């Protein structure tokens, strides 16, 4: 059975070249079952703006006390994902770019895992005015508490991923799309 790793990041900004990963969370799925859990906070090397802190609530002092180095976190994360297929919401345009950029900066081996982006899948399979994670969760009647923290986002996205895969398998795609 294929393993899937659903993951999410919280970052210090939107630019993978200049901004930092502050939090990584992931769930490894075997079928519909959770087979593993990964959560890590990262110690920042730059100041975190107040605007960014307001989004996810992570501040420098908390992260410096509770986080680990980005090199240690990414090494553990890459070990955790192994050769599984990586799943996330907007990972091709955001999260995975941060991971690849940091791996390169740290001279760590880059990953060639296959990616499934639930944002792309949602756009293809369901009809919504907006496709952010909260809106897609609402479509499937999932609560999305703790938005913009990595593990709550991963937990809801894992459920969304399973629903989207079932739609594909059962061919219950919205006929308007």
Residues classed as catalytic: 148
3-state helix, strand, coil in the chain (%, to 5): 45, 20, 35
Give bridge partners of residue 39 from the DSSP assignment.
Answer: 25
3-class DSSP assignment, residue 170: helix
Q: How many residues does the chain have?
A: 177
Q: Does residue 21 contact residue 99 with C-beta atoms inside 8 Å?
A: yes
Displacement of CA 150 from its chain's centroid (Å): 7
Task: Give me the torsion for CA of 43, 4, 56, 107, rounded to 10°.
Answer: 30
- CB 52 within 8 Å of CB 99: no
> At how many degrees (to 10) do helices 70-81 and 96-105 cross?
120
Beta pairing, strands 33-41 & 21-30: antiparallel
Structural contact between residues 122 and 128, judged by C-beta atoms closer than 8 angstroms: yes
């Amino acid at each position: 059975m294929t393993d899937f790793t659903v993951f999410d990041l919280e970052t210090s900004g939107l630019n993978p070249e200049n901004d930092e990963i502050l939090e990584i969370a992931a769930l490894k799925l075997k079928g519909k079952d959770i087979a593993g859990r990964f959560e890590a906070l990262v110690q920042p090397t730059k100041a975190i703006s107040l605007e960014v802190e307001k989004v996810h609530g992570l501040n420098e002092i908390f992260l410096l006390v509770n986080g680990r180095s980005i090199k240690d976190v990414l090494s553990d994360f890459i070990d955790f994902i192994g050769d599984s297929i990586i799943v996330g919401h907007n990972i091709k345009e955001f999260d995975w770019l941060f991971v690849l950029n940091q791996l390169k900066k740290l001279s760590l081996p880059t990953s060639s895992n296959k990616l499934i982006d639930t944002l792309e899948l949602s756009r293809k399979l369901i009809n919504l005015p907006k496709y952010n994670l909260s809106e897609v969760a609402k479509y499937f009647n999932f609560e999305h508490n703790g938005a913009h923290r990595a593990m709550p986002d991963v937990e809801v996205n894992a459920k969304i991923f399973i629903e989207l895969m079932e739609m594909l398998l059962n061919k219950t795609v919205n006929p308007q799309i």
